[in-house]
Structure 1
């Protein structure tokens, strides 16, 4: 099971997928180029690549739940315990 560091939140409005802040360049309110089909495949657990339009950073999505993309690489800084 992947840890929370491998997640990134998104918002779906109609058929558009927005990311509040790009994990790579920190650009705010990014409209992703993700198609309806790509989102559906990610939701089914099919590995999907998302290239951010703001900086061309690449994220490989392993799964998408109703709030988060679960990715191959850690996108958040690991919190110290």
Structure 2
């Protein structure tokens, strides 16, 4: 994978089978339960692109990689 700057990352948490983001990078909604499935997270950790539609504002985050703490997106998510 090409190097992506830290501005392209967004933290997430996995609790059981649920995947949360503390805050939506697009609309600012807090404590967002995503519709991402465990198999999609596994694909992202294997460096397959995964599209995540944020349920709060319906914006699409294209995840190009994931690690145990962060999604790495194809666009800047931090200012």
TM-score normalised per structure 1: 0.93
4+ runs of 1 displaced by more than 2 Å? none
Alignment length (residue pairs): 77
Compute the RMSD of aligned alpha carbons: 0.5
TM-score between the two structures when normalised by the length of structure 2? 0.95
Which residue is 1:66 aligned to?
68
Other-structure match for 1:57: 59
Stretches of structure 2 lacking an aligned partner (at least 5 in a row)? none
Flag structure 1 segments of 5+ consecutive residues without an equivalent. none
Q: Distance in 1 between matches of 2:46 and 2:17?
A: 17
The within-5 A match list for 1:21-40 is 21-40=23-42
The equivalent residue for 1:18 is 20
